[in-house]
C-alpha cells in the first residue's frame, strides 16, 4: 500500500497555508523548532510542561519505564480540580465564565469559575456524606448538563474514580459497566432531552442496577416537573443532597499515579475495556495539548461538540479547557434540531471562537447544504478542529470554505481513548494537507511500520505506532492487564494503535482507519475509509460504507453501502458511474463489486460506521454485542 494506492498525488500535494499571523500568535510558534527541542531533551520538555500546573508536592522523577508500564511525575502530589478551579479563582478568573450551557429549547445556565468551584465542593461533600471515599468508583450516567461536569469534578476532588457512561447507552451496556467497575454510587438524571423528547434515563438505571450489588445509592438530578418520584431505599435527590453541604471542600491530595478515572471503550472482542487514566500524567497531557493544539487564548469562547461521556469530552470539554482557565460552551443538542442551522446560530450568538467537532457531523452538514450555515455570521471563528475518524479531503474542503470562510486553520487531531490526549495533528499555523492528520506533536514519537515493526519507506502504508511513552497514556485496562499488554506486544515492543496509516513523503501522516477495517483484495490492502472517501467525493453521494466480503479468487471483494444526496435516484446507471469513479480516484483494485443504496448506516453513538455490523448482516452472522449502536 503506497501513497499512490490512496489516490494521493506524490508530486505537488495541495497545501492550505494559514495566514502567517496564526503562527506568530500561536502558543507553539515554530513547530519544527519546538519538536527539535523536545527531541534534544525529552525530560526537560516534560518538566517544563508539568510546571504549567500546580503541584502540592513536587515530583522527584519525570518518568520510570518498566516495559510496558510507565509511571510519570513520580511522588508528585496534586489534585486536578485545584488546577481546574481553585487556582483560577485565586488568580483573577473568579468571575470569568467557566461553563455556558444551553438546552435544546434555548434555556441557559452559566457558571463562573467561583460558582463552579462552589458547586463542585458541595457535591464533593455530598458524595462523602453518602460514603464515597478515595479510590471508590462512581458511575456517572447523565445527559449533557452542567451537573455532569460538576459530578465528574466532585469525584476528582475527593479522589473517587469516575466512570462516565455515555447517556445514550442502554440497560445492558450500563449494567455491564457498573458491574465491571464495581461502582458504589450511580449519578444520573430523570431525563435527557433529544429532539424535543424526554428520554427516561432513570428507568434505564433502575433496570441496570439490578444484579449490580456494588451499588449503594443512586443520585438523581430531577429536571422534569412535576418531579419524578424517588424510591427511598436507594435513590437520593441531587439538589437536596448538595444544598445543605458547605461550599468548601479541601481537595484530596492525590499521588500523580493514583487513578483519576476509568472510561470504557469498545474493543475488537465486543466486551468493553475499562481504560485507566491517572491524575498527574493526564493533567499535564491535557493541559498541554488543549493549550498548544487548540491554541486557546484567554478570551476564547470554546465549543467542543463531544459529549463528556466520551474521551473527547473528558479531555477537551472538561479537564483540558478548565485546566487552562478557558470559557467552555456545552449544549445538550443534536445538530439538526430544531433545524440544521442550530449549530451555526449558536456560533453566531455565543461568539464561538474555537470550534471542535467530528467528520461525521461535517458530512451531515455537507449533505443538507451550506444554505444553513450561510444564514449566520460565523466571523467570530478563529480555529476549527476535527476528531474521531479521518477527515476526508471533501469534508476538509467544505469545512474550510463554508465554516472557516477560507480563513481558519483546521486542526485534525488524531488520538484515542487510550492515549488520553492529542498525538498527531497539524499545529495551528502549519501548512495543512487535506486527508492528512499531520505530524506528531512535540512530546510524541510516531511511526508507520510493517507487521514486524520495520518502518515503512515514505510514501507507503502500514501500522501506526507510538514509540515513546507519554504522560496521558493509559496505565492499564481495569481488571484486565493482559489486554493492556497487548497494546505493547502486538508489534515489537511499541504501542500499536490498531490504525493503518500512510507516511507521506513530506512527513505528514494520513490515518486511514482501523486495522480491523482493512480489506485485502487480491493481495492489496484497501482502507475502507479511502474507498468511502472516493465514493463521497461523487456528486450524488452523501455517505458511504464499504466492507469486505469473501471471494474465492481474490480473498475479498468490496461491497459498498451508499446513501445518496437528496434528489438523486439509485439506478444501475449510477452504480456503474460510482464504480468508475472509484476506479478513477482510488484505482481498479478498490472498485466495489457490489453497491447497495441504503437510507441509513449502522453507527456507533460517536458516529463511527460499524462496518462489523454490515459485514455480519451481509454474511448472515450473529451480531454479537452491538450496545454501542445508534441505528
- Find the part of the chain contacting ligand WT7 (CB under 6 A) among 55-63, 414-422, 455-463, 562-570: 414-422
Classified as helix, coil or strand, 428 is: coil
List binders of ligand WT7 among 500-519 (CB under 6 A): 511, 513-514
**Minimum separation from the CB atom of position 391 to ligand WT7 (A):** 6
Q: Residue 455 contacts by C-beta under 8 Å, 6 or more apart in sequence? A: 447, 448, 449
- Cα distance between residue 590 and residue 528, in whole Å: 9
Inter-CA distances, 176 with 209, 216, 460, 627, Å: 10, 17, 41, 10
**Minimum separation from the CB atom of position 417 to ligand WT7 (A):** 3
CB 427 within 8 A of CB 8: no
- Cα distance between residue 383 and residue 456, in whole Å: 33
User: Given candidates 215, 387, 534, 610, which one binds ligand WT7 under the rule CB under 6 A?
Assistant: 387
- Which candidate, 308, 252, 258, places its Cα nearest to that of 128? 252
Residues 613, 616, 620, 621, CA torsion sign: negative
Q: Can residue 257 be called a binding residue for ligand WT7 (CB under 6 A)?
A: no
What are the two backbone dihedrals, phi and then psi, of residue 548, each rounded to the nearest 5 degrees? Answer: -95, 135
Residue placing its CB nearer to ligand WT7 in the complex, 263 or 564 = 263
- Count the site residues for ligand WT7 by CB under 6 A: 20
- Cα distance between residue 497 and residue 422, in whole Å: 13
Nearest residue (beta carbon) to ligand WT7:
417
User: Given candidates 307, 412, 532, 543, which one binds ligand WT7 under the rule CB under 6 A?
Assistant: 412
- Find the part of the chain contacting ligand WT7 (CB under 6 A) among 227-235, 249-257, 362-370, 410-418: 410-418
Residue 351 exposed, middle or buried by CB count within 10 Å (0-12, 13-18, 19+): middle
**Minimum separation from the CB atom of position 463 to ligand WT7 (A):** 11
- Cα distance between residue 441 and residue 449, in whole Å: 19
- Which candidate, 324, 318, 321, 287, places its Cα nearest to that of 162? 318
- Cα distance between residue 22 and residue 382, in whole Å: 9
- Find the part of the chain contacting ligand WT7 (CB under 6 A) among 38-46, 227-235, 386-394, 574-582: 386-394
List binders of ligand WT7 among 342-371 (CB under 6 A): none
Residue placing its CB nearer to ligand WT7 in the complex, 116 or 387 = 387
Per-residue contact track with ligand WT7, 436 to 475, x per CB under 6 A? -x--------------------------------------
Classified as helix, coil or strand, 176 is: helix
Q: Can residue 499 be called a binding residue for ligand WT7 (CB under 6 A)?
A: yes
**Minimum separation from the CB atom of position 575 to ligand WT7 (A):** 28
User: Given candidates 31, 329, 415, 597, which one binds ligand WT7 under the rule CB under 6 A?
Assistant: 415
Q: Can residue 530 be called a binding residue for ligand WT7 (CB under 6 A)?
A: no
Residue placing its CB nearer to ligand WT7 in the complex, 390 or 469 = 390
- Cα distance between residue 562 and residue 559, in whole Å: 10
- Find the part of the chain contacting ligand WT7 (CB under 6 A) among 20-28, 97-105, 175-183, 406-414: 406-414
- Cα distance between residue 86 and residue 80, in whole Å: 10
Q: Using CB under 6 A as the criterion, which residues of the chain lie in contact with ligand WT7 when the complex forms?
A: 265, 311-312, 387-390, 412-417, 437, 497, 499, 511, 513-514, 606
Amino acid at each position: 500500500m503506497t501513497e499512490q494506492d490512496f489516490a494521493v498525488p506524490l508530486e505537488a500535494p495541495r497545501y492550505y497555508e494559514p495566514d502567517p499571523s496564526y503562527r506568530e500568535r500561536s502558543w507553539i510558534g515554530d513547530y519544527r523548532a519546538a519538536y527539535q527541542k523536545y527531541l534534544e531533551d525529552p525530560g526537560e520538555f516534560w518538566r517544563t510542561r508539568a510546571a504549567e500546573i500546580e503541584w502540592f508536592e513536587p515530583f522527584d522523577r519525570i518518568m520510570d519505564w518498566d516495559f510496558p508500564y510507565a509511571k510519570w511525575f513520580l511522588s508528585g502530589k496534586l489534585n486536578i480540580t485545584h488546577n481546574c478551579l481553585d487556582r483560577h479563582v485565586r488568580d483573577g478568573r473568579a468571575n470569568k465564565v467557566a461553563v455556558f450551557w444551553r438546552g435544546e429549547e434555548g434555556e441557559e445556565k452559566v457558571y463562573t469559575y467561583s460558582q463552579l468551584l462552589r458547586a463542585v465542593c458541595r457535591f464533593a461533600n455530598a458524595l462523602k456524606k453518602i460514603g464515597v471515599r478515595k479510590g471508590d468508583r462512581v458511575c456517572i450516567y447523565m445527559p449533557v448538563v452542567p451537573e455532569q461536569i460538576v459530578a465528574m469534578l466532585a469525584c476528582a476532588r475527593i479522589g473517587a474514580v469516575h466512570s462516565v457512561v455515555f447517556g445514550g447507552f442502554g440497560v445492558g451496556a450500563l449494567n455491564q459497566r457498573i458491574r465491571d467497575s464495581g461502582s458504589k454510587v450511580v449519578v444520573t438524571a430523570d431525563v435527557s432531552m433529544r429532539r424535543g423528547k424526554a428520554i427516561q434515563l432513570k428507568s434505564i438505571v433502575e433496570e441496570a442496577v439490578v444484579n449490580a450489588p456494588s451499588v449503594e445509592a443512586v443520585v438523581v438530578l430531577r429536571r422534569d416537573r412535576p418531579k419524578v418520584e424517588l424510591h427511598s431505599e436507594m435513590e437520593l435527590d441531587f439538589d437536596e443532597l448538595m444544598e445543605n453541604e458547605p461550599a468548601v471542600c479541601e481537595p484530596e491530595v492525590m499521588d500523580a499515579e493514583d487513578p483519576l478515572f476509568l472510561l470504557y471503550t469498545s474493543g475488537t472482542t465486543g466486551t468493553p475495556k475499562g481504560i485507566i487514566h491517572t491524575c498527574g500524567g493526564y493533567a499535564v497531557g491535557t493541559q498541554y495539548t488543549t493549550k498548544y493544539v487548540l491554541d486557546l487564548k484567554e478570551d476564547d469562547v470554546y465549543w467542543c461538540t463531544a459529549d463528556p461521556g466520551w474521551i473527547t469530552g473528558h479531555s477537551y470539554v472538561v479537564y483540558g479547557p478548565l485546566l487552562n482557565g478557558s470559557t467552555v460552551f456545552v449544549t445538550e443538542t443534536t445538530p439538526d434540531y430544531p433545524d440544521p442551522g442550530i449549530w451555526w446560530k449558536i456560533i453566531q450568538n455565543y461568539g464561538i471562537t474555537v470550534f471542535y467537532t467530528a467528520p461525521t457531523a461535517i458530512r451531515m452538514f455537507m449533505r443538507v447544504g451550506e444554505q444553513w450555515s450561510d444564514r449566520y455570521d460565523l466571523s467570530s471563528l478563529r480555529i476549527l478542529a476535527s476528531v474521531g475518524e479521518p477527515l476526508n479531503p471533501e469534508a476538509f474542503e467544505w469545512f474550510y470554505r463554508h465554516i472557516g470562510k477560507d480563513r481558519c486553520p483546521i486542526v485534525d487531531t488524531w488520538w484515542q481513548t487510550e492515549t488520553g490526549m492529542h498525538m498527531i495533528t497539524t499545529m495551528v499555523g502549519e501548512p495543512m494537507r487535506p486527508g492528512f492528520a499531520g505530524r506528531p506533536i512535540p512530546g510524541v514519537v510516531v511511526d508507520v511500520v510493517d507487521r514486524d515493526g520495520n518502518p515503512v519507506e515514505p510514501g507507503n502504508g502500514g501500522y501506526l505506532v507510538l514509540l515513546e511513552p507519554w504522560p496521558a497514556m493509559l496505565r492499564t485496562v481495569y481488571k484486565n492487564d493482559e489486554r493492556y499488554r497487548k497494546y505493547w506486544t502486538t508489534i515489537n515492543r511499541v504501542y500499536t494503535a490498531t490504525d493503518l496509516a500512510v507516511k507521506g513523503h513530506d512527513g505528514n501522516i494520513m490515518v486511514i482507519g482501523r486495522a480491523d477495517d482493512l480489506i485485502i483484495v487480491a493481495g492489496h490492502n484497501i482502507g475502507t475509509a479511502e474507498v468511502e472517501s472516493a465514493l463521497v467525493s461523487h456528486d450524488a453521494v452523501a455517505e458511504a460504507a464499504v466492507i469486505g466480503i469473501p471471494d474465492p479468487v481474490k480473498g475479498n471483494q468490496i461491497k459498498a453501502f451508499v446513501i445518496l444526496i437528496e434528489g438523486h435516484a439509485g439506478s444501475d446507471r449510477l452504480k456503474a458511474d460510482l464504480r468508475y469513479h472509484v476506479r478513477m480516484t482510488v484505482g481498479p483494485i478498490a472498485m466495489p463489486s457490489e453497491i447497495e443504496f441504503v437510507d441509513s448506516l449502522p453507527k456507533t453513538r460517536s458516529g463511527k460506521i460499524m462496518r462489523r455490523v454490515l459485514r455480519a448482516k451481509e454474511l448472515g452472522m450473529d451480531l454479537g454485542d452491538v450496545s454501542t449502536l445508534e441505528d
